[in-house]
Structure 1
Amino acid sequence: MLQRIITFFERYSFGVCTYLGERFNISISKIRLFFIYSSFLAVGFPLIFYFFAGIVLDIRNYVKRIHTRVTDF
């Protein structure tokens, strides 16, 4: 049951922790723990950052896909 929940969130999350981990060469689990702990300490501000970063990354990936489609022709 726990594995199904973890798989669901990894598949449908924005990929912010993965992006930050690859970008700064930090373990993804450490970044996730940072967001969880800092959310408790900062009363949810990191969650707002996480959702904003997720939206920015989605828009960025969308623009890249359109750009590659246009340049393929």
Structure 2
Amino acid sequence: MHRLTDFIESQSFGLCSALGQRWGFSTRSIRLSFVYASFFTFGSPIVLYFAGVFWMNIRRAWRQQRSTVWDL
């Protein structure tokens, strides 16, 4: 089961795993808390999820563009 979730996470946006690595929580607990929060608040965390994915992709693109410290 973990291989399936890891495959889905790697092929999707990867926000839960990035947050888990940064904060030291398991990816599964972050994913479950997000799903439960979505049910209790009628889907409003989905907007936060997409905003986080957007920000993560912007940061990744910005890091790939800058090859040295002197490139601005």
TM range, smaller chain: 0.7 to 0.9
TM score, norm. by length of structure 2: 0.80
TM-score (norm. length: structure 1): 0.79
Give the whole-Å Cα distance in 2 for the aligned partners of 1:55 and 1:32. Answer: 18
Bigger helix share: 1
Residue of structure 2 equivalent to 1:24:
23
In 1, Cα distance between equivalents of 2:8 and 2:40: 22
| CA–CA separation in structure 1 for the residues paired with 2:58 and 2:37 | 26
Unaligned runs of 5+ in 1: none
Distance in structure 1 (CA, Å) of the matches to 2:39 and 2:68? 42
Hey, what does 1:56 align to over in structure 2?
55
Q: How does 1:1-73 map to 2 (within 5 A)?
A: 6=5, 9-68=8-67
Which segments of structure 1 move beyond 6 Å, counting only runs of 4 or more?
none
Q: Percent identity?
A: 35
Question: How much is the aligned-residue C-alpha RMSD, in angstroms?
Answer: 2.5
Runs of at least 5 residues in structure 2 that lack an aligned partner in the other structure: none
